[in-house]
Structure 1
């Protein structure tokens, strides 16, 4: 049992409140996943720049690492965001591996920042000051580990492509076979978590030319098990439940936002929720919202 939340802002006036609203939603899901939590926020980006989200052991001197790299870095607890010219990503990743092999790059993208840690979700959100973050959309996850160890590596979201990440409630029965296929195609996964396999699967399909919607539709054929996926991309977020849809899910939409929660109580503090269209997403149906260019 895990908790998923997602919020897509339609009204730009609400963008400064994104982090605060998602933090409240995440707090409510603490009892669905008390061992770890994570979230991805899509905020402002700079033309020609890429954000690398770094994670290191407690006490990592990210400022010193940024100084050695000659690049601006913004530390947040055990994580930091390094902003680099887009054409230098491969070089900078290689230098990080040499200068600070204990530091992991957990996401990259023009707009996405990703944070996750072991601990009560409410505490994790406070450690990274989620309430102070602004942006257009965000997704989050609270984890109750049932098939793997309670580690930061095992926490969601998982990101396997630029500005793309996934949170998952459920279990995939054929993830080992899918993992082997992906590895034969050259993908390298960092954990044994089935959710990372799902994220990598979607990334692989999209690199092959699929849209997110098409990749999610193909996953209904290629991924077996019971699951709810919420996926973030640079331009929006998508939702998919398996054909049986045994995992709980509810959505709400107003003129200001679209919201997702594993339970309705995650949505009750959103603005004007009483006027929202509220529904349970259909099994095996892809939902996707995208911001205007």
Structure 2
């Protein structure tokens, strides 16, 4: 099953409402994925690297961040949200921070970038959204996922979105049949993976393609020949938002576009609370066709 949602705002006056709109969309998809949920929000650009950390609880994370500041002699402004904390680090120290964190068991780097923050946990989507105060978040675009784990355990590591590159993340509904072979190939290209989830492989594939000079649209087009299986991808980058379905397109998907936004949902009911939805152009994305938007 699983449910995915995405919202890309064209009208800057709606940016303060991004989180509230996404929270409603995410909660509506609960019965497609009640096991765990997650979302990525592209907010204000930091003067450095936003690094989203996840730990067992808020107290453990607070202690780790304090030790990190002391060990590396950095100020590291931090935003605490339940089991996640977003620190802002000098971009030239991100590698040092990641290396230090690898020595701390139970602490994971969920994602990083100048604009992106990622939050995900086990539990009902509405509860996850409330725990991280999604409704209070502002930004230009975001994507979200509600998971029904059919082939693996229900864990936070298995929750979406998956991020394998700066300011890049992906949510996925479907299944890839050749993900183990692709994972081995990508590891030879220097990519690393935290889970066995096929969706993380899809994210890594796009990271590799874009690192080699492809645009997001071009990377997604290449995936049609390199990734086998059935899938719907919704992808976010610092300035972009894209949707792709496989050539068979057996997973449900619906989109709506107005002068103010572009929205995606696994089902239309995820979109009904959006402003002006009655006047939107509502359509089903075509198979094997990349739909991409970018902010300028």
Correspondence list, 1:229-268, <5 A: 229-268=233-272
Structure 1 residue 93 corresponds to structure 2 residue 92: no
Secondary structure of the equivalent of 1:92? Answer: helix
Which residue pairs with 1:65 in the alignment?
64
Distance across 1 between alignment mates of 2:235 and 2:58: 31
**Aligned residue for 2:53?**
54
2:218 alignment partner, SS class: helix
**Contact 1:63–1:73 (8 Å) recurs in 2:** no
Corresponding residue to 2:86 among 81, 85, 93: 81
Return the alpha-carbon distance in structure 2 between the equivalents of residues 50 and 278 of structure 1: 37
The correspondence of residues 176-255 of structure 1 with structure 2, limited to 5 A, is: 176-255=180-259
Tell me the distance in 2 between the aligned counterparts of 1:106 and 1:46.
Answer: 17
The question of 1:2 aligning with 2:6 is answered no
Q: Distance in 2 between matches of 1:9 and 1:196?
A: 26
**Structure 1 runs (4+) greater than 6 angstroms displaced:** none
The superposition leaves residues 149-206 of structure 1 with CA deviations (integer Å, 9 ceiling, x where unpaired) of: 1100000000000000000000001111111111122211110000000000000111
**5 Å matches for 1:123-202?**
123-202=127-206
CA–CA separation in structure 2 for the residues paired with 1:24 and 1:219: 31
Q: Which moved more, 1:64-73 or 1:214-223?
A: 64-73
TM-score (norm 1): 0.97
Equivalent position to 1:117, from 99, 118, 121: 121
> 1:68-120: CA deviations, max 9, x gaps?
3131111100000000111110111122233x332111100000000000000
SS at match of 2:26: helix
For residues 54 and 67 of structure 1, the distance between their equivalents in structure 2, rounded to whole angstroms, comes to 13
Shift of 1:59: 4.1
Which of 265, 270, 288 pairs up with 2:292?
A: 288
- Give the Å deviation of 1:281: 0.2
Asked if the contact 2:41/2:118 (under 8 Å) is kept, the reply is yes
Cα distance in 1 for partners of 2:224, 2:193 equals 21
Unaligned runs of 5+ in 1: none
Give the aligned partner of residue 11 of structure 1.
Answer: 11
In the alignment, is residue 38 of structure 1 matched against residue 43 of structure 2?
no
Distance in structure 2 (CA, Å) of the matches to 1:92 and 1:151:
25
Structure 1 stretch 180-189 or stretch 164-173: which is displaced more?
A: 180-189
Aligned twin of 2:72: none
For residues 19-66 of structure 1, give each alpha carbon's deviation from its aligned partner in whole angstroms, at most 9, with x where no partner exists: 00000000000000000000000000124x110000001244333333
Q: Give the Cα separation in 1 of the matches to 2:134 and 2:28.
A: 15
CA deviation profile, 1:264-292 (whole Å, cap 9, x unmatched): 00000000100000000000000101111
The CA deviation string for residues 112-156 of structure 1, in whole angstroms up to 9 with x for no partner, is 000000000110000000000000000000000111111000000
- Length, aligned pairs only: 290
